[in-house]
Structure 1
Amino acid sequence: MPPGKGKAMGMTQANAPIFEALRRHKQNNVVRLDVPGHKGGRGNKELRDFLGADCMAVDVNSMKPLDNLCHPVSVIRDAEQLAAEAFGAEHAFFIVNGTTASVQAMVMSVCKAGEKIIMPRNVHRSAINALVVCGAVPVYINPGIDKRLGIPLGMALEDVRRAIAKHPDAKAILVNNPTYYGICSNLREIVKLAHQNGMKVLVDEAHGTHFYFGENLPLNAMAAGADMAAVSVHKTGGSLTQSSFLLCGKDVNHDYVRQIINLTQTTSGSYLLMVSLDLARKNLSLHGKEIFAKTLEYSTYAQREINRIGGYYAFGRDLINGDTVYDFDSTKVSVHTRAIGLAGVEVYDILRDEYDIQIEFGDIGNILAIVSAGDRALEIERFIAALSEIKRIYAKDSAGMFDHEYINPEVAMPPQRAFYSEKESLPVEASKGRICGEFVMCYPPGIPILAPGEQITDEIIRYILYSKEKGCFMTGTEDMSVSRINVVK
């Protein structure tokens, strides 16, 4: 086999090439006349004492024995090949700029300025950021809405079919698999429709690492035949924060994809992040079934017990309708809170401030807890007990609460044109009817309420003000207080 193609020679999933190379490097006691300047921690004792000497010793720069992330020819190449094999992909890239970089590389690999891409509007801001950078034009599909929960669902297959028929020149379709709430679209059929019409399928699988290794979970992107997938291994796979894989399927020129990645990814790839991906892949390959069986055991128990409290609704597979909720990620503990008179973000704040429990996020009507095999049964019980007590102490009438998370946008111009246009700053309350020139979102989850190029409506203004009032962490605007918004002149 030629270098860089196929399986790493003589290696199995029990190997971890980057980890093994770093261990050899550490044992060699090499004189450090290169960067980083902390010199294995000796130059910054407080940091070394905090992170640990072992960690600092392997925070190193690219060198021949350790390969180079921008142009891997040895240990990183071998690690990529093992990752591709583990995930059922043709090729895998180590990404150290977060899954944001993976998503942007996917979009920029298939779309040039002026070309169209079909996507649901409830994408992460990273996808729309990619459009701002490369000048591609979105064709938004408004996701289904669950009226009881007020949350966006997946893409209806008929909506995808209509978008393809109306925009046959689109280059690709981007799909969330799953959404932040755990909802999956009919990925296999979307892939089939796209490929029949000469379009690529890109999958934002930031929250779907476990789909590749667990059982009784939704279909993963590579198994569905998707062309590329951005997989945030740090979220549910055990690697360090900011580490990610970008996976490529068949008929993707991965050498070109690497060039696109190298346009924006650092030339000083963190070996701490890379080795975490390498060891996470090894661990998942060898033990993933058991890991995610335990995760499902915890999440299923939590959902059942939370629903027994009353008032809360821990939703799950009962939402499946064969279309806009084609499948559901049962590892997600997504809980609707509005019936007890509290916004999700209010429950989120109370859990943290009063009970020392940090969950993933709270929005206007829901909370999300990320559960994994790394949790302990006692912690799950503590979370359930805290929710019960919060209901007893804080529950109130739900009248007057904002009842939905997603507002269909009115797109007036492409994101790149709006973002780089001449703008003026207005108070949010005075911006009705204008075209937004920046982002407005609650983080997490980082799905824009407003994106560049969208019309500002009364409903959106009310939503922004209500979110601020309830304590959502608002981001995206130039004005750090999110009291003013930049609009196109």
Structure 2
Amino acid sequence: MKKLSQDKAPIYEALVKHKSNRVVPFDVPGHKGGRGNKELTEFLGQDCLKVDVNSMKPLDNLCHPTSVIREAEVLAAEAFGAADAFFIVNGTTAAVQAMIMSTCKAGDKVIMPRNVHRSAINALVVCGAVPVYVNPGVEKNIGIPLGMSVQDVEKAILENKDAKAILVNNPTYYGICSDLKAIVALAHKHNMLALVDEAHGTHFYFGENMPLSAMAANADMAAISMHKTGGSLTQSSFLVCGKNMDASYVRQIINLTQTTSGSYLLLSSLDLARKNLALNGKEIFKQADDLANYAREEINKLGGYNAFSKELINGDTVFDFDTTKLSIHTRDIGLAGIEVYDILRDEYGIQIEFGDIGNILAIISAGDRMLEIERLVSALYEIKRRYSKDKTGMFDHEYINPEVVLAPQKAFYSSKKSVPIAESSGKISGEFVMCYPPGIPILAPGERITDEIVNYISYAKEKGCLVTGPKDMDILNINVVEEC
């Protein structure tokens, strides 16, 4: 293959050429460049609909790329310091699942923190791998789950020497980073593969003075949500691999679940976002980091809030901190994070990433401006002045250590019955329960339901969290495993 430059965007360039050729479309999609759906065309724009096309020879094929998509993959791998890169249009969920399914088969063990995104546990339900959970540390003052202790990972390895892989969240939703280099080294020492859910870490590859990226830590695979902080369209991501992985096999695994009708809108957005970050990433993420740090300082001056940062670093469960994450603890003003989230949106016209029981998260990127930062700070000041109250009786932690009784696949596909959540304590869950976002399960299939979990679910619903997972859309009942 010819030598490629990071200032090229092969997929985008091929689409521009295709559009100028004025090809007559007798293929799908049926809107035919927007002519078949006037309202949609007016909403999204004709330029958008003209390049919403199907695979064809000049535009390559996502399932088996040999030309422009393959060139774009090579450029992406180079930009991320990886041996191989794959364009993912089913969201980072698909990338996380491809990592696990590429390294584990039914019955194989995979070591992972319990505070993983549901996509990782979904992969276990599908492929039948068995989790060995490492409970994350918990920060006592703000109640959030932290990273995995290296000592706890080593203990899990020594007790499960037949495990195939170790999965690490880096960073967590809150910005917490584990000692990734040490964990990867431990995995390789014991002939295990190191997988990294790097959904919130695109900027680690392109910014300066950022936490260590998965590829720089010599990890074997990483799932990267380019759309979260990298500027591509929602649902577009990269899966990158180190030199130890069989890239052709990984592609086969991806093709088990990824669509055969890859969206060229998503593909070109990944291509252009990679180009932009490769050329301008240092400046882009310095601006984002500067804005986040300014906001953090101003919010902490308000009193009552704790916009936490690198002061949490302890060399182990918090090995580093992603300062672009504007995570703010709200419990000391007597409000759950989800309550602040709702007030910001409903009364101040400010949409943040999520609110949970005790925290909110604002994602800061190159698209933000100082005026909006000031607006957020002012709104938080007003919320404290108008709504703050005594915090007595509030939940003080986000994470509950689970008791795992059955493997997720066995529990999910077992015979189940529906019972009221309020009466489910002591039973084994046959489905997920989680607040979304962030999508980290409160309960996963195969885990024992406890009074603490029942109370947590009730409290989360009362405070306004979007609880998802159960078959019962009203979240009143839960499917539990029928006892033998």
Shared fold, TM over 0.5? yes
Structure 1 residue 274: Cα displacement: 0.2
Q: Does 1:241 align with 2:241?
A: no
Residue matched to 2:453: 460
Q: Does 1:298 align with 2:303?
A: no
Q: 1:318 aligns with which of 289, 295, 311?
A: 311
Deviations along 1:289-343, one digit per CA (max 9) or x if unpaired, are: 0000000110000000000000000000000000000000000000000000000
Residue matched to 1:330: 323
Cα separation, 2, equivalents of 1:431 and 1:11: 58
Cα separation, 2, equivalents of 1:304 and 1:318: 13
Q: Does 1:169 align with 2:176?
A: no
Q: How does 1:373-412 map to 2 (within 5 A)?
A: 373-412=366-405
Q: 1:227 aligns with which of 200, 213, 220?
A: 220
Cα separation, 2, equivalents of 1:459 and 1:252: 42
Q: Does 1:48 align with 2:55?
A: no
Q: Does 1:371 align with 2:364?
A: yes
Give the match's secondary structure for 2:33: helix
Give the match's secondary structure for 2:417: strand
Q: 1:347 aligns with which of 332, 340, 343?
A: 340
What amino acid is the match of 2:254?
I
Structure 1 residue 10: Cα displacement: 3.3
What amino acid is the match of 1:420?
Y
Of residues 133-142 and 9-18 in structure 1, the stretch that sits farther from structure 2 once superposed is 9-18
Q: Does 1:154 align with 2:155?
A: no
Q: 2:268 aligns with which of 275, 281, 294?
A: 275
Cα separation, 2, equivalents of 1:296 and 1:184: 16
Q: 2:205 aligns with which of 206, 209, 212?
A: 212
Cα separation, 2, equivalents of 1:196 and 1:409: 29
Residue matched to 1:36: 29
Structure 1 residue 250: Cα displacement: 1.2
Deviations along 1:233-255, one digit per CA (max 9) or x if unpaired, are: 00000000000000000110010
Structure 1 residue 11: Cα displacement: 1.8
Cα separation, 1, equivalents of 2:273 and 2:120: 25
Cα separation, 1, equivalents of 2:2 and 2:205: 23
TM-score of the superposition, structure 1-length normalised? 0.98
Give the match's secondary structure for 2:215: coil
Q: 1:84 aligns with which of 63, 66, 77?
A: 77
Of residues 369-378 and 441-450 in structure 1, the stretch that sits farther from structure 2 once superposed is 369-378
Q: Does 1:66 align with 2:59?
A: yes
Cα separation, 1, equivalents of 2:250 and 2:209: 32
Give the match's secondary structure for 1:456: coil
Give the match's secondary structure for 1:99: helix
Deviations along 1:102-157, one digit per CA (max 9) or x if unpaired, are: 00000000000000000000000000000000000000000000011111000000
Cα separation, 2, equivalents of 1:9 and 1:143: 46
TM-score of the superposition, structure 2-length normalised? 0.99
Spell out structure 1 runs of 4+ moving beyond 3 A: none
Q: Which ranges in structure 2 are unaligned for 5 or more consecutive residues?
A: none
Residue matched to 1:75: 68
Give the match's secondary structure for 1:140: strand
Q: Which ranges in structure 1 are unaligned for 5 or more consecutive residues?
A: 1-7
Give the match's secondary structure for 1:245: strand
Structure 1 residue 373: Cα displacement: 1.5
Structure 1 residue 376: Cα displacement: 1.2
What amino acid is the match of 1:347?
V
Structure 1 residue 62: Cα displacement: 0.2
Residue matched to 1:3: none
Residue matched to 1:4: none
Cα separation, 1, equivalents of 2:443 and 2:366: 36
Q: 1:118 aligns with which of 90, 98, 111?
A: 111
Cα separation, 2, equivalents of 1:373 and 1:142: 34
**Alpha-carbon RMSD:** 0.4
Cα separation, 2, equivalents of 1:372 and 1:106: 27
Structure 1 residue 56: Cα displacement: 0.3
What amino acid is the match of 1:169?
D
Structure 1 residue 77: Cα displacement: 0.2
Cα separation, 2, equivalents of 1:121 and 1:233: 24
Cα separation, 2, equivalents of 1:285 and 1:76: 17
Q: 1:25 aligns with which of 18, 24, 47?
A: 18
Cα separation, 2, equivalents of 1:327 and 1:192: 17
